[in-house]
Amino acid sequence: MATGVFDILHLGHLHFLERALALGDELVVVVAHDDTVRKLKHEPITPAEMRCELIASLKPVTKAVVGDPNDHFKVVEELRPDIVVLGFDQESDPDTIVSKAAERGLTIKVERLGKYDADLDGTRKIISRIIDWWTYQKMIDDVEGGGE
């Protein structure tokens, strides 16, 4: 099982999911609920259902579900994964995940994967690139249009 926001899909996400699948026979992905994204990160750019559909369509993914905004372990309890895979930038503590799962009668292993490095391997990098492009285009338009 892997989890994430997956707000603007990029190669870092794909490589994370490919590496997560390599740790087992199938890969279930929990896409963060919009309320969870708002609470922990930012206002989501795309709704959870859209993000979930995109993730479900990727080759490494066996199944994708939207997480519960009130009980993050509900889906873990329902799907009973053997391994929970964390990305390099996910703040969750592996020992806490193992102990909370044990409280629910689950025995799981937690693996943290390293960073995948590419030019546009992060949502913030993509957004920054778009802002830079838009700012440049606006400047060109202002110069060509006489600043009107």
Q: What is the pLDDT of residue 131?
A: 80
**pLDDT value at position 114?**
83
- Strand 109-112: give its sheet, edge to edge: 63-66, 28-31, 2-4, 83-86, 109-112
- Domains belonging to the chain, first-starting first, are 2-117 (3.40.50.620)
Summarize pLDDT for 20-39 with one digit per residue, the tens. 999 999 999 999 999 999 99
pLDDT at 78: 94
- Quick check: 58 pLDDT over 80? yes
Residue 54, C-beta contacts closer than 8 angstroms, at least 6 positions apart? 6, 9
